[in-house]
Structure 1
Amino acid sequence: MAQQDSTFDLIRRGLWDNNIVLSQCLALCPLLAVTNGATNGLGLGLATTAVMVVSNLLSSLSKAYISRAIRIPVNVLIIASLVTMTDLMLNAYLHPLHKVLGLFIPLIVTNCAILGRVESFASKTSPIPAVIDGFSMGVGFTWVLVVLGGVREIIGTGKLFDNASLLLGDAFHFLEITVIEDYRGLLIAILPPGGFLVLGAMLMLKQKGSLWLKAREQIKQQAQIRGGAHES
């Protein structure tokens, strides 16, 4: 059945319908721990996306050569290897970001969303849909991290993507924005309770948005039915 999904369906599912955080409520530990700023969220999101894309691809390519009896251990080994490589590369080329994210880079391997997509989708479909699915799921996770971190950062400090050039490199200097001048900040926003409050608001808005889209689709279908009945 997964092979019948269109590219649009895969992308929409990863970004919205089956979003790792807002729909599945997975990976909440790193989400709440590192999102006291948008820069940290972007860094962790990109690292997770890279692991998801490559692990989906390798699982799809190797599915014909791996017995079902050992498929899960092999997939865990693939993910662990990729996370180790990502951790080493971040330490070598983006050391300040690596220091900030710390343990949460190695802990990507415990993100059940990655193993879940590899096991339920990538290991049962061809490479191109597997890559699209991994990319869309990763981007869906990343945008939630960035939005959650950005909202907390603006409320807490009045800035957005602070220290982006230091953590991600000079090419990201353009992201650094002072949203509110001479702002004293609200400390609770960048503390753990602020993460729970903002995440709760995002979950509420996601539910409201999904209900609105569903109602809109129903109205559209009813209009098409009435139009067809009128023509007949």
Structure 2
Amino acid sequence: MSPPNLSTLARDGLWDNNPALVQLLGLCPLLAVSASVVNALGLALATLGVLMGSNLAVSLIRQRVPAAVRLPAFVMIIAAFVTCADLLMAAYAYELHKVLGIFIPLIVTNCAILGRADAFAARQPPLPALLDGLMMGLGFGAALVLLGAIRELFGQGSLFAGLDLLLGPLAADWQLTLIPDYDFLFLVLPPGAFFTAGLLIALKNAIDDRRRRAAAPTPRERIRVTGTPR
């Protein structure tokens, strides 16, 4: 299998094969912690690091692991990187670590990570595997942060609240209060996460459908190519 180029990896990870909006993987943490930008950003960074590290490690050992123990080996690799991410967040962003709670260890069960390890990294050299982890992680993180921003803005009337939990005291004044004394509880609660995620998926599908129609040849162009009307 020839390694795909960077543009293909970027297009797949960020849009065409986005883990959250197309493959619909990792929906449990996506919906559970996306009530604010800081929560979404914290989980996105942890998932990105695990994806890149596990993809690289799986690619490096891909020719040395017997097929009978391939999936258990991949799960152990992913669990090791998740443990590293969990310990790093506990050490450097403890308050955010407490907010995210069990959803950091649960990255191990994210099907997007194991799926990329088995479907891509186990069949590709290290560099394409690392880039695939980067792009898939960025695609998942972008969907996560966008969902968190929409829910925080329309649910609480603010953006970037509590960003100092992740970036330190420097970000303590970065909160933007766009709608003072505002609270729309529906978007903050889990039903709002399902509703907002559904809107984002529908919007992406509408954009893709519009692009396909724009790229499709017109009847006159089909006649010119084939010589017969269709």
- 1:152·1:195 contact (CA, 8 Å) conserved in 2? yes
**Distance in 1 of aligned mates of 2:125 and 2:54:** 13
**Distance in 2 of aligned mates of 1:193 and 1:72:** 34
User: 1:172, CA displacement in angstroms?
Assistant: 4.0
Q: 1:199-214 residue pairs with structure 2 within 5 A?
A: 199-214=197-212
Equivalent position of 1:143 in the other structure: 142
Question: Given residue 131 of structure 1, which amino acid in structure 2 is its aligned partner?
Answer: L
Residues 1:66 and 1:207: Cα distance change in structure 2 (over 3 Å): same
**Distance in 2 of aligned mates of 1:22 and 1:162:** 25
- 2:37·2:159 contact (CA, 8 Å) conserved in 1? yes
Equivalent position of 2:192 in the other structure: 194
- 1:164·1:173 contact (CA, 8 Å) conserved in 2? yes
Post-superposition CA distance 1:48-90 (Å, at most 9, x none): 0000001000111111221122111111110001101111111
- 1:158·1:185 contact (CA, 8 Å) conserved in 2? yes
- 1:36·1:152 contact (CA, 8 Å) conserved in 2? yes
Aligned residue pairs total: 226
Percent of aligned pairs with the same amino acid: 46
Please say if 1:65 is aligned against 2:64.
yes
Poorly superposed stretches of 4+, deviation over 3 Å: 170-175, 222-227
Equivalent position of 1:106 in the other structure: 105
User: 1:185, CA displacement in angstroms?
Assistant: 1.9
- 1:32·1:192 contact (CA, 8 Å) conserved in 2? yes
Post-superposition CA distance 1:77-128 (Å, at most 9, x none): 1000110111111111110110010000000000011000000100100111
Q: Which runs of 5+ in 1 are unaligned?
A: none
**Distance in 1 of aligned mates of 2:12 and 2:172:** 32
**Distance in 1 of aligned mates of 2:132 and 2:222:** 31
**Distance in 2 of aligned mates of 1:20 and 1:102:** 22
Q: Which runs of 5+ in 2 are unaligned?
A: none
Q: 1:33-48 residue pairs with structure 2 within 5 A?
A: 33-48=32-47
- 2:34·2:193 contact (CA, 8 Å) conserved in 1? yes
**Distance in 2 of aligned mates of 1:195 and 1:18:** 21
Equivalent position of 2:132 in the other structure: 133
Question: Given residue 30 of structure 1, which amino acid in structure 2 is its aligned partner?
Answer: P
Alignment RMSD, CA only? 2.2
The structure with the greater share of residues assigned to helix is: 1
Q: 1:143-222 residue pairs with structure 2 within 5 A?
A: 143-173=142-172, 175-180=174-179, 182-219=180-217
**Distance in 2 of aligned mates of 1:185 and 1:192:** 15
Question: Given residue 16 of structure 1, which amino acid in structure 2 is its aligned partner?
Answer: W
Normalising by structure 1, report the TM-score.
Answer: 0.90
Normalising by structure 2, report the TM-score.
Answer: 0.91
**Distance in 1 of aligned mates of 2:171 and 2:212:** 38
Equivalent position of 2:87 in the other structure: 88
Q: Which deviates the most, 60-69 or 142-151?
A: 60-69
* Partner-residue secondary structure (3-state), 2:19: coil
* Partner-residue secondary structure (3-state), 2:21: coil
Equivalent position of 1:12 in the other structure: 11
Question: Given residue 15 of structure 1, which amino acid in structure 2 is its aligned partner?
Answer: L
User: 1:5, CA displacement in angstroms?
Assistant: 1.9
- 1:38·1:160 contact (CA, 8 Å) conserved in 2? yes
